[in-house]
Every structure is written in structure tokens, then in C-alpha cells.
Amino acid sequence: MAKKVTQLSFADVMGAIDCSGDIDCSNKGLTSLEGCPEKVKGDFNCSGNKLTSLAGGPKKIKGDFNCSSNKLTTLDGGPDEVKGDYDCSNNHLVSLGGCPVFIMGDFSCSGNKLKSLQEAIVSSVGAILAGGPELVEGDFNCSRNQLETLDSSPKIVGGDYDCSYNHLITLKDSPEVIFGDFSCSGNQLLSLEGAPREVSGNFDCSGNQLTSLKGSPKKVKGSFICSCNHLTSLKGSPEEVKGFECSNNMLTSLKRSPEKVKGNFDCSMNQLTSLKGSPRKVKGNFNCSGNQLTTLECELKKVGGDFICEENAQPFIEEEIRVAKDVKGNVLA
């Protein structure tokens, strides 16, 4: 026999409350937000309860809104206006219908059951596509869902964009410009076509099924991470990066790698027999360990950090390396 769930509303637990500051009704066993004030001048936190609906909750929140770790399947009935962060992560959401169009802080819907960021609403006038927020001034996190597409993704994201660990096979409809980090790691991507054209932070496409870097952003101001894919070539890689990590692939050549790397360059654990095509200058560490190298002859002349070439087909001697290359840090051979 199923255990009966005790109904417990906001009014039952919190009673009459001053709404001039923050309201924290998290982890109270609430099943309903009935009795909440309509306006909250600070943060509103109803996380960690047993809510299946946001009906009865506040409509305007001047601070952050947190309804994470409940049993929500929809955001209908939630606030129309949130001037801080909006966190609806770790629920059972299958739709983002009902969330505000504009988010002035961060937005997180990670850890749900979303297959799409859009929803078809059928009315007397026909079907209307609705979905998540169109503009997020902070970070946007839709990771750890079941997304197969980024349709109805926000057009503008002012911070980081994280769509990692979904079921994505394409990056079509992702924003063109990312002002923070972009992560699409842990998906099923075969191509980077549709990726943002410019990323102000790091770009992480590791742990996919990529055989090509075609479609990569031309400019990544942070590190470009394409490790743990099926790459045999670096054709299509960004022209300008801070750091570059292409480890744990099937690379046989470094041709088409960036000419200058301002951070670390990691091409370890591939099938390289030569370093020809490598950057000419690396300001951080250079790691080519775990390959099939028998020679270190290449374009690389200067390394600002450590030079790491352990576990190759032929052992190398530190003295020879320092004669051939200007290494400021340690040599691990």
C-alpha cells in the first residue's frame, strides 16, 4: 500500500511572514506554496521540498529564486519576474514553459528530464512554440538532461553556457557569441558545426565522438579542449587560443594546430610519430607524452613552462632537449 503523503503548505509552516527581505522555506517538507506573499523584496528559496507545482508562489522576486531539488515537472505558476538568479535544477522537469523570458542573473535547469528547450502550446488559435528564457544576463546551465537539440536556446548569454552531458548530436541554434565559457562535453557530437563563432572564455568539447574540428570557433580567448574524441587531424581548429588540449585522441599529426599558444599545449596520449606542425611558441607547458615519438624535431622553439615527453617509443635526454629548444621550466623525459 502506497504511503500517504502529508500535505503541507507554505502557510502551514511559515505562517504570516515579513516579505521585505529574504524568505527561506527550504527543506521543510512543503507540498504546496499556498500562502506565499505575491512580492518578495529579497531572495526566495523553496528548494529541497516535495513540491510538484509552483502555484501559489510569489510572482515578483527582487533577488534570487531557488526551487531546485523538488518534484516539479513544469514551471507553470512560477514567478513572472526574477531580478537575480533562477535555479530550477534537479527536479523532474520535462518543459521550461512558465519561466520568465528575461533572467537578470544565472539560470540553471541542470539535472532534469528535458529533451528539448521548447514546448508546443496548443490553443484555439493554433500551436505556439514556447520555452526557456530568451535572454540570460549571467550563466546558462542546461547540463545533465536528455537534450537532443538546442532549439529555443537563449539568444544572448552574458556568462557561461553549459550544455554538457546531454544527448546532443548537433550544436545548431547555440548562441553565436559567448561572453564566458562554453561547454558541450559528454554529448554525442560528430561535428562542431553550429558552434559559437567567438568564445570569451574556455571552449570544452571533450568526451564526444568528433572526428573533425570543422565548425570550431575562430577565436577562443581561454583554453580550447577537444580531448577524448576520435580525432585523427586538427584541421579546423581555432586560429587563436590561450591554451590547447587535444589529448586522448587518435592524432597522427599536429598540422593545423595554432601557431602560438599563450597557455598550455597538451597533445599527450595520441598516436604521434612526429611533432611537425606544432606551435612555434608555447608560453605554458608542452606535453607530448604517451605517443610513438622517435624524434622531437619540429617548429617548436620556445616553451615558457615544462616540457614533458615521457612514455614515447624512444627515450629522450634532457640535455639534448634543452640544446634544441628554449625550455624555461622542467624537462620530464
User: Is 140:160 a contact under the CB 8 Å cutoff?
Assistant: yes
| Pairing status of strand 118-123 against strand 126-131 | antiparallel
19, 10, 125: which is closest to 70 by C-alpha? Answer: 10
Neighbours of 269 (CB within 10 A): 20
Neighbours of 148 (CB within 10 A): 16
Residue 47's alpha-carbon distances to 26, 102, 135, 149, 297, in angstroms, are 5, 21, 24, 28, 58
DSSP string, 28-93: S--SB-TT--SEESS-EE--SS--S--TTS-SEESS-EE--SS--S--TTS-SEESS-EE--SS--
Helix H or strand E encompassing 324: helix 318-324
Residue 229 identity (one-letter amino acid): N
Give me the sign of the Cα torsion angle 75, 78, 82, 85: negative
| Rounded to 5°, angle at Cα 325 from 320 and 328 | 105
**pLDDT per residue rounded down to tens, the chain (333 residues):** 455 668 999 999 988 777 789 999 999 999 999 999 999 999 999 999 999 999 999 999 999 999 999 999 999 999 999 999 999 999 999 999 899 999 999 999 999 999 999 864 444 444 344 578 999 999 999 999 999 999 989 988 999 999 999 999 999 999 988 999 999 999 999 999 999 988 999 999 999 999 999 999 988 999 999 999 999 999 999 988 999 999 999 999 999 998 889 999 999 999 999 999 999 999 999 999 999 999 999 999 999 999 999 999 999 999 999 999 999 999 999
Q: How far apart are CA 296 and CA 282, in angstroms?
A: 15
Give me the sign of the Cα torsion angle 323, 324, 328, 329: negative
Residue 139's alpha-carbon distances to 64, 179, 180, 227, in angstroms, are 14, 9, 8, 24
Helix H or strand E encompassing 322: helix 318-324
List, in sequence order, every residue forming a beta bridge with 241; answer none if it has no partner. Answer: 261
Q: How far apart are CA 120 and CA 99, in angstroms?
A: 15
